[in-house]
Structure formats: structure tokens, C-alpha cells
Homo-oligomer: A and B are copies of this chain.
Amino acid sequence: MNYSSIFSSIYSQIDHLSNRGELATYIPELGNVSPNKFGVSLLSISGEEYSFGDFDERFSIQSIAKVLALVLAYASENEKLWKRVGVEPSGTAFNSLVQLEYDMGIPRNPFINAGAIVISDILISQLKNPKADFIAFVRSLSGNNSIDYCERIAKSEKNSGYRNAALVNLMKSFGNIENEVNVVLDFYFNLCSIQMSCSELTQTFLFLANKGINPNNNERILSLSKTKRVNAVMQLCGFYDEAGEFSFKVGLPGKSGVGGGIIAILPNQYCIGVWSPKLNRKGNSYKGMKFLELFTTKTETSIF
């Protein structure tokens, strides 16, 4: 399929839309990004790459990194991982704390903050040098040694991270956190601070479209069964309170971050990454969502 012409046709369509939405501002660093950045990158498992706009500029991938943390923890923890975190969508944000309380400290899924904090706790227990080992894993996936945490962002998160501190303390009161509260939060805030470009994202996540194997070096990252399960969890839980909307309109497993990035997977075909910093009311990239909706509609590709 000629993705190039589809990309440019959709790009011009979206260009005519006013760029609605708002920058994330809950940490000051995220508010400093130029709001009209817009990049797209598609990488197929056969190695074709189509990119557009600001596709090679790095941005804060934020919650997209939660998928990588899950992958690394799941690879060695296996199915017993799911005793500490669920696989169910979370319902509306308004009851995040009551649900955690009702479920005795077991988060609904690994992509809500509480769930990614539990995954962080698991990685800290698993890894010898947690932060160094984790970024090494990300670099090896992406084939790019310059990918790194952003200290400024991590520090900014920490300075306003009282709500996450509430979550980790609540889970520790239920016995679902093994390590020191501050150590867990430090890892978690660093995790969310990783920076990549759209094309680096597609390199990094392509194994999820390729049955768990990194196509660059044929290394198996996850078994086929685990790969499908990670995709399934993304499908149901990857877009905050808009998972249904995304599934409905785009029809691909994926994950978004409040930095305005989104990755999506069409199994056995491609990985696509988009970035545009302004967010809709639900916290997902306004233009990014539009782009993906038009793209899967035009190409008639979706998992459904």
C-alpha cells in the first residue's frame, strides 16, 4: 500500500483543522514544548519506513514507557506478574483511589499510574542496577545508545508528584510494594522522563508487531503468547478513559503519553508513532488521535 501518499493526504487534511486541545501543564517542563510540533513515522516489519513532519525530534514519551517496563518485567516474572496487577480497564479516573482501595491495593492494569508503580517495584527487585539496566534494555530495543532519561523532567515530576506518592503509600499499606517508597517513586519518575522521536519509537516497539521478535537482530524479546497479551492489554487499557473511543475509531492496540506521543501496532504488519503535543480533554494527543483515525479508515486496516 502506498503509505506515502496516504500520509501526505491526511497530513494536509489535519493541517486544515484548528489545532485544538491544550498542552499538558501539570509539570512545568511539559508546558515548554512548541505546541504545533507534529510528526509521524510508520515502520513495517519488512523494514519499510514512512515518516513526515517532526518525526525525528525527541519529546517526552511519558506513559508510553510503561509498555516497555511491563515488557521487561513480564519477560522474567511470567504469569505470576498478574497476581500484583490486573488486566482490566479502569473505568473513569474519578474513582482511581477508591478502586485501588476496593481491590486491596491491586491496580486494575499496568498502565494506570498505580499499575506502572507496581511494575517499577517489580523491576527494582529484579534488576541489579534498576535505572541503568532499564535504560540499557530500551537502548538495545531501539538500537540507539543515545536514548536516555531526562533529569529535568524527572525532577519536575518529583516536585509535584504528591498524588503518585499517595498511590504508592496506599499500595504499601496493603503490602503490594516491596521496596522503599522513595526508591520506587524515583524509578517511576525516571521511567516517565525518557525521550524519543517518532522514528525511534517505531524502531523500539516494532517487535510487538512481529510476534515478539526484534526484526533488526532477530532477538526474541517476548514469546508469541506474551506479545499477544501485551497487545491485548494495550487495546483495553492504553488510552486512559478513552480506550473504548480509540478502539472504536482507530481499532489498533496502542499507548499514549501526556507528552503528546502515541504508538500503535497492527500485528504482523507495522508499528506507527505520532506526536503532537496538544491534548484532548481525555489527555490524548488531539492531532495524533485524528491522524490515526483517518489513517486506519483510509487504509481499511484495523484488528477488527
Q: Which residues of A contact B (CB under 8 A)?
A: 86-92, 94-95, 97-99, 101-103, 108-109, 160, 162-163, 165-167, 169-170, 172-173, 181, 224-225, 227-229, 231-233, 235-237, 241-245, 247-249, 251, 253, 267, 297, 300, 302-304
On whether A169 and B173 interact (CB within 8 A), knowing A89-B91, A109-B244, A248-B233, the answer reads: no
Most buried by B among A87, A108, A181, A304: A304
A233 CB contacts on chain B under 8 angstroms: 244, 247-248
Q: Is the CB of A173 within 8 A of B163?
A: yes
Q: A92-B99, A304-B232, A304-B235 are in contact. Are A244 and B165 (CB under 8 A)?
A: no
Would you give the shortest CB distance from A244 to chain B, in whole angstroms? 4
Q: A97-B170, A169-B162, A169-B166 given as contacts; is B245 within 8 A of A297 (CB)?
A: no
CA distance A266 to B163 in the complex (A): 41
Chain B contacts for A181, CB-based, 8 A:
162, 165
List, in ascending order, chain B residues with CB within 8 A of A162's CB.
169-170, 172-173, 181
When the two chains form the complex, which single residue of B90, B165, B227, B251 contacts A232, counting CB atoms closer than 8 Å?
A: B251
Evaluate contact between A91 and B94: CB separation under 8 angstroms. Answer: no
Q: A165-B165, A166-B173, A228-B302 are in contact. Are A243 and B88 (CB under 8 A)?
A: yes
Chain B residue nearest to A242 (CB atoms) is: B88
Q: A163-B169, A303-B303 are in contact. Are A228 and B251 (CB under 8 A)?
A: yes
Contacts of A243 in B (CB 8 A): 88-89, 236
In the assembled complex, how far is the CB of residue A221 from the closest CB belonging to chain B, in whole angstroms?
15
A163-B169, A235-B235 given; A92·B102 CB < 8 A: yes
